[in-house]
Structure 1
Amino acid sequence: MFKATFLFSFPSDELMEPLRFEVEAMHVRSEGRMILTFNYGRDGRKLTPMHTGWLDNYTPWCESPVALLLRALQTLKNHWYVNLRAELHVTRIEALELSIVGVDACGETDVRLGHLTLTLPRATYYDSFRLNQTVPESRSLPVRVMHAVPIDAALSALRAIQQDVMDIEEPPCASNLDVVTDSSGVRYVLREQIPSYAQAAFDAFSRRFRLASCGSIKSKALVHARDWEHFVAA
Structure 2
Amino acid sequence: MDSGSPERRLTVTERTRHRRLRQQGSLDRDRLDAILAAGFLCHLGVTVDGNQLVVPTVYGSDGGTLYFHGSVASRSLVASPDATVCVTVTHVDGLVLARSVFEHGVNYRSAMIFGVPRPVTDPQEKLAGLRCLTEQATPGQWDYARRPSARELAATALLALPLDEASVKIRTGGPDDGDGEDARLGLWAGVLPLRATWGELEPDPLLPEDAEAPAHLTRRTGTPAN
Band the TM-score falls in, shorter-chain normalisation: under 0.3
Query: Rg bigger for which structure?
Result: 2
Tell me the TM-score normalized by structure 2: 0.25
Tell me the TM-score normalized by structure 1: 0.24
Of structures 1 and 2, the one with the larger relative CO (CA 8 A, separation 6+) is: 2
